[in-house]
Amino acid sequence: MPLADVVNHLLRTKGPTAVGAELDRRVEAIRTECHRIVVTERTLAATREARAAAVADQAVVATIGSLTGSVVLVVGFAAYVTRGVVRPVRRAAAMAGRLAGGDLAARTPETGAGEIGVLERSFNRMAESLEESHAELSTSRSRILAAADQARRRIERDLHDGTQQRLVSLVLELRAAQNAVPVDQPELKARVVRVGETLLAALDDLRELARGIHPAILSEGGLPPALRALARRSLVPVELDVHVPRRLPEPVEVAAYYVVSEALANTAKHARASCVRVRAHVGDDILRLSVHDDGVGGAVPGQGSGLVGLTDRVGALGGTLTLHSPSGHGTTLTARLPLT
Ligand SMILES: Nc1ncnc2c1ncn2[C@@H]1O[C@H](COP(=O)(O)OP(=O)(O)O)[C@@H](O)[C@H]1O
Ligand SMILES: [Mg+2]
């Protein structure tokens, strides 16, 4: 029943006190209802909040899970790329570097898959064929050098046994003719003497030429006497330190002779040195040579033909030739010649 009707009814039947009591009861009922509503709302809010928090937690867990998955994927892919691509390519690049540096035995493991494997195999095939060509080239270079040395030795022998001997006989005959010239023919005698002197000079020239073609003393006595002969003929005083107690393979002796001969000629021509030191020491499987002068230094191998030719000759025997020539501090030419 509406409140106004209730109030009028109570005023009429029970008086104002009953109206007050009724109003208090109704206010209390409203307060109780309000309180119930507030409590219900709070409970609902707490439930919603708990649900939201649970959903947020799930979202965080899902995000962390997917992030971890992505990281694992990225790391896995990076590891695959490193192992399958980067490492083989790096190994192939390192091998190419070693090949370029002259190590023709360098190879790369053929472990890659697909294109990388094809690349590794191609690199190895290329290195193999390079190594083979290099070996063939070295052999043919040695053969050419040996053939040239043999031809030079033959020419030297022909000159020595043929032309030189005939000139020597001619000199002897001229001496006899000179003695047979009558004393009343001084002009004729003087002419014969002049011809004899010219003949002797020509003989010296021929000997020098023959020695340049091939040093006979080397074939006959080996390196020590040949180096002593070079030292005697040198225009700059030579200090010799030779320890070669046995005969060496002929190509090694010939190469060593030419190294010292060219170095001494260079010292006389270019160094303005006061002395040269020549060392030749033989080990078990190597001959070590060095020629050091105290001259002006600053030698450059490519500027002439002598040192370049020596590098070829020494290289054909598998040896090395090194020039150290700082300007103003002398020149050292070093050769290492394997004996095998
Ligand atoms: N002992 C040395 N001292 C100074 N300079 C040198 C010496 N040896 C060589 N050289 C320089 O190095 C160049 C190259 O030498 P080389 O190949 O023997 O040629 P070359 O035919 O001129 O002697 C020479 O032209 C010279 O300038
Ligand atoms: Mg020279």
Q: Which residue has the higher pLDDT, 67 or 19?
A: 67
Does ligand 1 lie within 6 Å of residue 96's CB atom? no
Segment 163-202, tens digit of pLDDT? 999 999 999 999 999 999 999 999 999 999 999 999 999 9
Task: Count other Cβ atoms within 10 Å, centred on residue 235.
Answer: 11
Stretch (H or E) spanning 78: helix 16-81
Integer Cα distance of 22 and 14 in angstroms: 11
3-state secondary structure of 337: strand
What is the whole-number distance in angstroms between the Cα of residue 263 and the centre of ligand 2? Answer: 7
Question: Please, what's the largest Cα pairwise distance for the chain?
Answer: 204
Report residue 36's pLDDT band, with 50, 70 and 90 as the boundaries. very high
Mean pLDDT of the chain: 91
Segment 266-282, tens digit of pLDDT? 999 999 999 999 999 99
Q: Which residue has the higher pLDDT, 247 or 84?
A: 247
Of all protein residues, whose CA lies closest to atom 8 belonging to ligand 1? 266
Q: What is the predicted pLDDT for the residue at 26?
A: 85
Give the residue from 116, 74, 71, 73 showing the smallest Cα distance to 93. Answer: 116
- Please state, in angstroms and as integers, the Cα–Cα distance from residue 136 to each residue in 103, 194, 311, following that order: 16, 56, 19
Report residue 132's pLDDT band, with 50, 70 and 90 as the boundaries. very high
Does ligand 1 lie within 6 Å of residue 307's CB atom? yes
CB 117 within 8 A of CB 110: yes
Does 237 score more than 80 pLDDT? yes
Q: What is the predicted pLDDT for the residue at 106?
A: 93
Does ligand 1 lie within 6 Å of residue 17's CB atom? no
Does ligand 1 lie within 6 Å of residue 310's CB atom? no
- Which residue from 234, 267, 270 has its CB within 8 A of the most atoms of ligand 1, so it is best to mutate? 270
Does ligand 1 lie within 6 Å of residue 331's CB atom? yes
Average pLDDT, integer, range 13-33: 85
Q: What is the predicted pLDDT for the residue at 79?
A: 85
Per CATH, the homologous superfamily of domain 216-340 is: Histidine kinase-like ATPase, C-terminal domain (3.30.565.10)
| CA dihedral angle for residue 171, residue 174, residue 176, residue 179, rounded to 10 degrees | -130
Does ligand 1 lie within 6 Å of residue 330's CB atom? no
What is the whole-number distance in angstroms between the Cα of residue 318 and the centre of ligand 1? Answer: 23
Q: What is the predicted pLDDT for the residue at 105?
A: 92
Highest mean pLDDT among 207-221, 269-283, 297-311: 269-283
Please report, in angstroms and rounded to a whole number, the separation of the first and last CA atoms in the chain.
132
Domain residue ranges in the chain: 3-91, 216-340
Does ligand 1 lie within 6 Å of residue 294's CB atom? no
What is the whole-number distance in angstroms between the Cα of residue 316 and the centre of ligand 1? Answer: 22
